[in-house]
């Protein structure tokens, strides 16, 4: 079994990165192989809307998304993390998600195996946990369209400085537990 984390934050060791790693740590403690991608460090171009992927299984663009596609096809579970910037996921995460179009058949059924598990991780400066609930629900629907089972959504609230999430020991423990139980 393998769990792959995708971090949509530009901050290394930022709150999103720390939480994604904590979920991966939990998965690793349960004997699962883990891998993490920092989207900000990857060369991922925007979807060109060329519809190449409608006729051919794959994307015409040859960039680092090729590695992400392989991970999305082969892994059994995922941790998707993004902070909220201007009421939405970061541009890095949106760019990554837009390129998933190549993972859909022309009839919008997924080209990846259904039944994969997922944990959503978010971080927001706003102290109200429900402030961006719709963003996480929308992303959950996208994952469900790909046949993924969303096991948990973890949101850090009210922190701004990188790594402050570590102060929230309850959330850190919950993140590790989510990783260790992702396949239950």
pLDDT for the residue numbered 174: 98
Question: 5 pLDDT band (50/70/90 cuts)?
Answer: very high
pLDDT at 21: 98
Report pLDDT for 18: 98
Query: What average pLDDT does the segment 9-21 reach?
Result: 97
pLDDT of 36 reads: 98
Are 156 and 120 a contacting pair, CB within 8 Å?
no
In this structure, is residue 22 part of a structural domain?
no
pLDDT tens-place string over residues 144-182? 999 999 999 999 999 999 999 999 999 999 999 999 999
Question: Is residue 163 within 8 Å of residue 18, measured between CB atoms?
Answer: yes
Q: Is residue 110 part of a domain?
A: yes
Whether 111 maps to a domain, the answer reads yes
Around 131, how many Cα atoms within 13 Å sit in the side-chain half-sphere?
18
Cβ neighbour number for residue 8 with a 10 Å cutoff: 27
User: What pLDDT is recorded for position 184?
Assistant: 94
The CATH number covering residue 79 comes to: 3.40.50.360
Domains held by the chain: number: 1
Segments forming the whole domain that contains residue 164: 42-180
Structure tokens at 107: 């009839």
Specify if 59 maps to a domain: yes
Neighbouring CB atoms inside 10 A of 158's CB total 14
Q: What are phi and psi of 8, to 5 degrees?
A: -95, 15
Q: How does DSSP classify residue 102?
A: G
């Amino acid at each position: 079994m393998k769990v792959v984390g995708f971090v949509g934050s530009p901050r290394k060791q930022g709150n999103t990165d720390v939480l994604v790693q904590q979920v991966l740590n939990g998965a690793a403690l349960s004997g699962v192989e883990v891998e993490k991608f920092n989207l900000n460090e990857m060369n991922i171009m925007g979807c060109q809307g060329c519809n190449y992927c409608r006729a051919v299984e794959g994307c015409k663009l040859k960039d680092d998304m090729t590695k992400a596609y392989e991970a999305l096809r082969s892994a059994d579970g995922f941790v998707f993390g993004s902070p909220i910037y201007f009421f939405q996921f970061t541009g890095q995460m949106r760019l990554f998600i837009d390129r998933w179009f190549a993972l859909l058949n022309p009839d919008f059924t997924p080209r990846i195996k259904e039944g994969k598990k997922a944990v959503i991780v978010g971080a927001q400066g706003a102290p109200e946990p429900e402030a961006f609930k719709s963003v996480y629900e929308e992303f959950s629907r996208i994952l469900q369209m790909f046949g993924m089972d969303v096991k948990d959504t973890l949101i850090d609230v009210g922190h701004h400085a990188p790594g402050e999430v570590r102060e929230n020991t309850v959330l850190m423990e919950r993140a590790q537990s989510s990783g260790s139980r992702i396949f239950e």
